[in-house]
């Protein structure tokens, strides 16, 4: 796969561990590119024993790759500088180039204030980073501020015009008052003009730079934020984000030719979901999950109960072992059994060439099933319904199980390759590949970069499909 261009996307509702896969592949890439989302995403990378969480910067920067932020990214300058600092603080050097697309839209303080202020979108359970409001302004074409506006000479006038146009909205949402409107605009200006001065040197055109890079044989790695089921078009609307999270979306928004890319869909071994919305294979329920704190442990008796079929407890066990608490918001994530209906859909929407399965070690020692169809009112389907409400999972007959692997077994599997993985795990990987019609190129068995089984994975899992 060396030298090949790749698109990495998430297959479920985000938090699949894409950061680790990107980090793993970044050393082969000349450019690592964020193509969607904003600082609502948090990509966690564990490298050299250090954990770095990035919200805007592509994960590849820690490896000194050139990093680009595409035009469909909602760009929060404050988070950009925070990312930059956290990379330096963790001891990494930023030696590659950074390119921020001039067409990207800037998240302004009123966007975050509106997102945090409740209102009609409260029920969506957003990350409160201003994503919906900035996307609305982008679509308006008249009340938007692009990166180009931000670093241009007319920024002050543009900002004043936008604040004036939004006056009713800002006052109605109690973000400012009529009397303070000018002062409010000026405060934002003072803050953002400082960002602008720092950012100028990074601003350019991704379409030109990346196409030129492709033409000269350089390799690109496109890193998606969120995931297919959160895509604004193909996701579980209205409980979705406001950008395109799919491989096709990456190509369209960057202005590059998708035929030049291999598409790697990242499926966490079990789905998780933050925020509201239907979740057919959910274990337990969101209300109970919300009460949980990171780091709670299950007693031996509770684990036994979970193994014996207490599904809410199993869900809690997965959440705790998988550290399923938001990198951006700290919110507990809902956990569920694997869902082949959803994965088949995601594989199709993205044209996935291969799967990377992450966090499979979290399922070690836990018996589980996988959904192969849904049913509702006596009707059965293997399609992923647009309106998910009320659909219940139909599980396959098989129960998957393998005992926990110790560190030696994990190291041995990394070195020997796919065949050395536990039998029960391979059964699951095989069924995932067959259900979705795509082979598996990577199986992640621990958070560290090294703990990934790549050797023979693609070959063996392609054999399942013959
Ligand atoms: P927003 O993107 O902040 O508007 O949130 C819309 C929905 O997408 C909510 O359900 C969020 O929890 C979800 N969401 C946004 N970003 C992420 C992410 O990076 N991982 C998982 N869920 C996300």
Closest ligand 1 atom to the C-alpha of 276?
10
3-state SS assignment for residue 452: strand
Strands 272-273 and 334-335: antiparallel
Q: pLDDT digits over 158-180, tens only?
A: 999 999 999 999 999 999 999 99
Reply yes or no on whether the pLDDT at 256 is more than 90. Answer: yes
Q: Which residues contact 66 (CB under 8 A, 6 or more apart)?
A: 30, 31, 32, 96, 97, 98, 99
Q: pLDDT digits over 259-299, tens only?
A: 999 999 999 999 999 988 999 999 999 999 999 999 899 99
Torsion sign across C-alpha atoms 251, 32, 1, 406: negative
3-state SS assignment for residue 449: coil
Closest ligand 1 atom to the C-alpha of 329?
12
pTM over 0.85: yes
Q: What is the mean pLDDT of the chain?
A: 95
Helices (runs of H) and strands (runs of E) counted in the chain: 17, 19
pLDDT band at 324 (very low <50, low <70, confident <90, very high): very high
Euclidean distance between CA atoms 452 and 459, whole angstroms: 16
Euclidean distance between CA atoms 439 and 262, whole angstroms: 13
382-404: b (≥16 Cβ within 10 Å) or e: eebbeebeebebebbeeebbbee
Distance of CA 344 to the CA centre of its chain: 18
364-374: average pLDDT:
98
15 is catalytic: yes
Closest residue by Cα to atom 19, ligand 1, is: 41
- pLDDT value at residue 364: 98
Reply yes or no on whether the pLDDT at 3 is more than 60. Answer: no
Residue 443 phi, psi dihedral angles, 5° rounding: -130, 115
- Write the DSSP assignment of 245-262 as a string of letters: -SHHHHHHHHT--GGGEE
Please give the distance, rounded to the nearest whole angstrom, from the Cα atom of residue 182 to the centre of ligand 1.
Answer: 33
Closest ligand 1 atom to the C-alpha of 121?
4
Probe ligand 1: pick from 126, 130, 272, 273, max atoms within 8 Å of CB? 126
- pLDDT value at residue 328: 67
Q: pLDDT digits over 115-146, tens only?
A: 998 777 778 889 899 999 999 999 999 999 99
CA triple 40-266-24, angle to 5 deg: 90
Q: Say what percent of the chain tops pLDDT 90.
A: 86
Reply yes or no on whether the pLDDT at 327 is more than 50. Answer: yes
Q: pLDDT digits over 185-213, tens only?
A: 999 999 999 999 999 999 999 999 999 99
Euclidean distance between CA atoms 236 and 384, whole angstroms: 10
- Write the DSSP assignment of 15-39 as a string of letters: -S-HHHHHHHHHTT-SEEEE-S--T
Reply yes or no on whether the pLDDT at 99 is more than 90. Answer: yes
419 is catalytic: no
pLDDT band at 2 (very low <50, low <70, confident <90, very high): very low
Please give the distance, rounded to the nearest whole angstrom, from the Cα atom of residue 146 to the centre of ligand 1.
Answer: 22
Euclidean distance between CA atoms 283 and 332, whole angstroms: 13
- Pocket around ligand 1: residues whose beta carbon is below 6 Å from it? 13-15, 40-41, 124-127, 129, 131-132, 225-226, 230, 239, 241-242, 274-275
Instruction: Please say whether the beta carbons of 21 and 444 come within 8 A.
Output: yes
- pLDDT value at residue 48: 74
CB neighbourhood size of 432 (10 A): 24
Probe ligand 1: pick from 119, 226, 271, max atoms within 8 Å of CB? 226
- pLDDT value at residue 329: 72
**Widest distance between CA atoms in the chain:** 71
What domains does the chain contain, in order, with CATH numbers?
1-102+205-282+336-466 (3.40.440.10), 105-199 (1.10.300.10), 283-335 (no CATH)
Q: Say what percent of the chain tops pLDDT 70.
A: 99
């Amino acid at each position: 796969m060396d030298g090949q261009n790749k698109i990495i996307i998430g297959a479920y509702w985000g938090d699949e561990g894409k950061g680790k896969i990107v980090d793993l592949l970044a050393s082969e890439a000349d450019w690592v590119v964020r193509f969607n989302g904003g600082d609502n995403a948090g990509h966690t990378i564990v490298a050299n024993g250090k954990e770095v969480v990035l919200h805007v910067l592509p994960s590849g920067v820690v490896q000194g790759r050139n990093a680009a932020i595409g035009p469909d990214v909602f760009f929060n300058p404050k988070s950009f500088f925070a990312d930059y600092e956290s990379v330096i603080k963790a001891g990494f050097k930023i030696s590659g180039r950074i390119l921020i697309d001039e067409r990207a839209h800037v998240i302004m303080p009123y966007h975050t204030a509106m997102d945090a202020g409740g209102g009609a979108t409260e029920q969506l359970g957003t990350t409160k980073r201003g994503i919906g409001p900035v996307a609305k302004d982008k679509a308006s074409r008249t009340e938007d501020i692009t990166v180009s506006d931000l670093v241009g000479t007319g920024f002050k006038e543009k900002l004043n015009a936008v604040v004036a146009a939004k006056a009713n909205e800002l006052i109605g949402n109690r973000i400012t008052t009529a009397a303070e409107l000018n002062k409010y605009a000026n405060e934002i200006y003072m803050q953002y003009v400082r960002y602008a001065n720092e950012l100028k040197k990074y601003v350019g055109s991704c379409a030109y730079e990346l196409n030129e890079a492709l033409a000269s044989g350089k390799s690109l790695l496109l890193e998606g934020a969120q995931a297919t089921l959160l895509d604004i078009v193909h996701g579980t609307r209205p409980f979705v984000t406001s950008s395109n999270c799919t491989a096709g979306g990456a190509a369209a928004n960057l202005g590059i030719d998708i035929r030049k890319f291999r598409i790697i869909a990242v499926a966490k071994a079990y789905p998780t979901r933050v925020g509201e919305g239907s979740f057919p294979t959910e274990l337990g329920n969101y209300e109970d999950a919300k009460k949980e704190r990171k780091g709670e442990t299950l007693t031996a008796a509770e684990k036994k109960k979970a193994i014996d079929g207490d599904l809410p407890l199993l869900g809690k066990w997965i959440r705790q072992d998988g550290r399923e608490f938001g990198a951006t918001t700290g919110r507990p994530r809902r956990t569920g059994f694997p869902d082949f209906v959803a994965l088949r859909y995601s594989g199709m929407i993205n044209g996935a060439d291969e799967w990377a399965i992450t966090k499979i070690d979290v399922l070690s020692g836990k018996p589980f099933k996988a959904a192969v169809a849904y049913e509702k009112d006596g009707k059965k389907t293997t399609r992923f319904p647009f309106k998910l409400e009320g659909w219940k999972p139909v599980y396959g007959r098989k129960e998957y199980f393998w005992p926990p692997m110790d560190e030696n077994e994990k190291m041995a599997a990394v070195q020997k390759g796919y065949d050395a993985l536990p039998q029960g795990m391979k059964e699951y990987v095989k069924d995932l590949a067959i259900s979705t019609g795509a082979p598996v190129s990577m199986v992640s068995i621990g958070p560290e970069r090294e703990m990934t089984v790549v050797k023979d994975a693609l070959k063996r899992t392609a054999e399942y499909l013959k």
